[in-house]
Each structure stands twice: as C-alpha cells, then as structure tokens.
Amino acid sequence: MNDSLIQLRREYSRRSLNEQDVDPNPFVQFGHWLDEAIRSEMIEPNAMILATASADALPSARVVLLKGFDERGFLFFTNYESRKAEELRKNPQAALLFYWGELGRQVRIEGTVEVASREESREYFRTRPMESRIGAWASKQSSVIPGRAFLEEQVNRVKQQFPDDEVPLPPFWGGFRLKPAAFEFWQGRENRLHDRLRYSPKGGLWVIERLSP
C-alpha cells in the first residue's frame, strides 16, 4: 500500500433530517428508517456493528443481526461464551451502529446490555433453520480450532446427538438486549454539511439536539 489516500467522491441524495419532521420518539424514528432501508432492498439492512469493550477498556467490534426492537431495546442473538459475551458480562456498556450507505444514513445507539429471557431465546431459536440450530451447537464461538475439518466433525457429532431433528436451545446460546441511553441519526448532505440529530432521555421524554457535522 502506498501513501496515496483513497479518493472516492459520492453524491448525496436530497434527503434531509429536520427537527420538525423527525418523530419525537427515537424508536419510532428508527422504525421509519429501518423500513426505508428494507424497502430499498439493500443486503442485510438489519446488520449492525456491535462495539464492546473489555473490563480494561480495550474496544472490539463485529457485525450482528438485529432481530427485534421495541422500547425495551435492541435484540440480537449470539453465543454466551463468545468474546463479545465475555466482554459484555464484565462491562455491559456497548454501542450499536447501523450504516445504510445506499441511503447516506448512519444511526448510532449507545446503552447498556442485558441478557434476554430464556423463553425469548427459545422462541427465536425455534424459528431458525435446522442447519443453523446445529451450527449453534457445533461452534464454540471465538475459540481457536485446529482446522475446518474439526468444525465438520462437530457438526456430525451434534447430528448424532439429536438424530430426530429436535435440536433444543443450547444452554450457551441466546439473546442480548441493548437498552439505549442515546441515539444519533445522521443523514449525509452535500459539502459535508450533514444533518445530525441526537436524542437523549430527560424526565421521561427525549431531548433532540442538532450536532455539528
């Protein structure tokens, strides 16, 4: 790699974000933007970056899929023994980031993460295809493995363990819910004069403030 910077220019659409037009409730506003992202037919509009930090404040980030949201928070599913889960257990503060490039949009959400109920995790797990239920059992997520063949052996082992296609929720797998303490909606505009609106909770309501781009 040489030292020339990557030069890409993009044209932002005429979309804008105004204090008068946004919903006073950030969950409702998020729902509008998620709907538009889904309607735009982009790949995985529910993909979000989850940023965590270890107990000694070393950050890490990865993509997970949003599987539901309401006023209680943003729900995703994972392995409870993975690196992210380990970090969340020791430091439940986390951030989510949605980047919808086709729409020139970003949403940042920060908050505290809680473990979802077993019932909720069981209900979601039941909806997953058989192969991915087997995959959840077979993968000790984030651990070092000797090679691809090892994973395939684990899959075969799980298939023998549950021969009648009844694959229950693994005890080490389930949901987390991030309860937002702040949202920021970002709409790309021309000449770097982007719109940024931050929602912060105050006295049971959400205060909306504009941030400089």
Ligand X SMILES: Cc1cc2nc3c(=O)[nH]c(=O)nc-3n(C[C@H](O)[C@H](O)[C@H](O)COP(=O)(O)O)c2cc1C
Q: Contact residues for ligand X (CB under 6 A)?
A: 44, 47, 60, 62-65, 76-79, 82-84, 141-142
Q: How crowded is residue 64: how many other Cβ atoms within 10 Å of its Cβ?
A: 17
**Active centre residues (catalytic):** 192
Q: What minimum distance in Å lies between the beta carbon of 79 and ligand X?
A: 6
Tokens of 63: 């993509």
Q: What minimum distance in Å lies between the beta carbon of 207 and ligand X?
A: 31
Q: What minimum distance in Å lies between the beta carbon of 19 and ligand X?
A: 33
Which residue reads 């950030």 in tokens? 26
Structural contact between residues 163 and 61, judged by C-beta atoms closer than 8 angstroms: no
Q: What minimum distance in Å lies between the beta carbon of 46 and ligand X?
A: 9
Specify the residue, 50 or 103, whose C-beta has the smaller distance to ligand X: 50
CA distances from 168 to 36, 91, 159 (A): 35, 29, 12
* Three-class DSSP category at 174: strand
Specify the residue, 17 or 48, whose C-beta has the smaller distance to ligand X: 48
Single-letter code of the amino acid located at 133? R
Structural contact between residues 28 and 205, judged by C-beta atoms closer than 8 angstroms: no
Helix or strand holding residue 156 (H, E): helix 148-161
Specify the residue, 155 or 208, whose C-beta has the smaller distance to ligand X: 155
CA distances from 116 to 113, 134, 148, 175, 210 (A): 9, 21, 31, 5, 33
Specify the residue, 62 or 179, whose C-beta has the smaller distance to ligand X: 62
